[in-house]
A and B are shown apart, each in its own frame.
Chain A
Amino acid sequence: MQIMNQMATIPFPTDNKFLQEVRDAAFRFAQKHCGSWATAEECEDLTQDAMTKMYENVQNGRLKQLNCNLSTYVNGILKNLAKKMSREKDKEKMVIYPQFPAEEDDIEPIDMAMAEEAIRQWSQIDQEEELAMLQEKVREMVTNMEDPCRRILWAFYWEGKSMKEIAKEMNYSSKDVAKTRKSVCLSKVRAAMKDFYKQIRS
């Protein structure tokens, strides 16, 4: 049962409100992860440095394609800057500051080069055209996917949310339920891809 495409095109930003939202989210991220060892001023500096770095990467062409939403990208930069700052604090004070917490919920963006290599190496599809058709089919599936799979997979892979955050948003009783749900959704994607690939070959 197909539902209307809920991911209809959103209007292009006519103001830069999205930047303020990314910035505020980055500051909250900095406070959450660095608040135990960095001052508020330092968290503010980390945030501004991460936002500046993102701007520079766009301007110099290093950032042309996002694998995740802009907020997750900026938080990734912020995390690296914070690690550097905490190491420098260790040297100055001769005190072991807490390292950047290795939270089990800490989510990194997908490395698209790894994803591309995995497809190339293990898809067992030699024909470029067939691979392109299958990838286009997957893109259509993403666009037309129904809830809850759409919400879960989008939140996890694009918005960089943890299973704990997803469970809370979806009102699941635990992150294990969210994990099970995600796994079921991936099984559906895989089954649909297999069926489509059989159709292409026949």
Chain B
Amino acid sequence: MKQEQYIEFDERIDRYLRNQMDADERTAFEQEVDNDQELRERLVATAMLVKGIAQVGMQQEGQAQLDAIKQMNREEYIRATQGKKGRNPIWTFMKWASGIAAAAFIAYGLYTFNPRTSRQQPEMVEVVKKAPVKPAKSEKPAEPTLADLADRYNNPFSSEPDIFADIREQIKKSGSKDMMAVVNDIDNVEWPTAKHGPKGGESEDEFKETLKNYEDCSHWYKALAYLKTNDKDSAVNELKELIDNGQIEELKERATELLGQLEK
């Protein structure tokens, strides 16, 4: 099943579980759930997930908050939830004014009584006068880092499956510490594998085409993710796997070019 279909399923499941469907829509949805195993499993998984999230949420914060509210009398509660309308404006102004005055006094004190500013400034001026800054020699441009290379090569190619748009965004936006999560995601998402076989009316040839797209893409994007974590060896391994066994010529060419950059 394509990712777009899963997204569409998820939106309808969320509407159903939020009771946002009218009677006709709900009946049609329930009939579809009865007849479609994928939709049924996804609905149950989502329902159990939200139940799990509610359980954890209550454990982490909800129960304590409800208990705290339960123990408050009405006056206490109203005091604790007063808006700006209920707060004393004069008292608020006085607090702000005294805070600003204190900050100004501290800043003035630091400036006035700092021995460095009072004594050393003239010496520093002398030093600057004696040792004029030499013009910098022309320098070679800095070598790109591994992360720079990853960013430079992080572009879609023509037959890329849609799911990789999200992976590309993750590689682009996330920090290096999140990259291993990206590598995990690439390994663990339900890619079509040989044992699943063609789905949804796909021919054998179409399935093989899909399979090679996913496998080649996974090597490519894992290589980029490894580069972002500065793991050159793992990146090189993924690129070599893609060059040796990949099927998509466009990706193999890119991998060859990138590998050349890494092995300079």
Contact = CB atoms under 8 A, between A and B. Distances in A.
Contacts of A177: 165-166, 169
B52 A139 contact: yes
Interface in A115-147: 115-116, 118-119, 122-123, 134-135, 138-139, 141-143, 146-147
Interface string A1-24: 100000101101100101110110
A142 B60 contact: no
B90 interface: no
Contact of B47 (A47, A58, A118, A180): A118
Contacts of A18: 61, 65, 68
B46 A186 contact: yes
B64 A171 contact: no
B45 A118 contact: no
B38 to A, nearest CB: 9
Contacts of A181: 166, 170
A141 B170 CA distance: 22
Contacts of B57: 66, 68-69, 158
B58 A66 contact: yes
B60 A186 contact: no
Interface stretch (B75-83, B133-141, B220-228): B75-83
A165 to B, nearest CB: 15
B44 A123 contact: yes
Nearest to A163: B11
A109 B18 contact: yes
Contacts of A63: 66
Given A118-B44, A148-B181, A184 B166 contact: yes
Interface residues of B, number: 64
A171 B171 CA distance: 12
Interface stretch (B98-106, B108-116, B182-190): B182-190
Contact of A20 (B61, B70, B80): B80
A139 to B, nearest CB: 4
Q: Tell me whether chain B's interface is mostly helix, strand or loop, or mixed.
A: helix
A58 B60 CA distance: 18
Interface string B51-65: 111111111111011
A183 B52 CA distance: 17
Contacts of A10: 60-61
A171 to B, nearest CB: 4
A180 B52 contact: no
Contacts of B56: 7, 139, 142-143
A106 to B, nearest CB: 10
Contact of B66 (A1, A51, A58, A116): A58
A143 B56 CA distance: 7
Given A27-B83, A115-B50, A172-B173, A189 B45 contact: yes
Contact of A119 (B47, B53, B83): B47
8 contacts: A12-B68, A13-B68, A110-B50, A123-B44, A135-B51, A142-B52, A147-B181, A148-B174
Given A148-B181, A172-B173, 8 more contacts: A13-B64, A138-B48, A142-B49, A148-B170, A177-B165, A181-B170, A184-B189, A188-B185
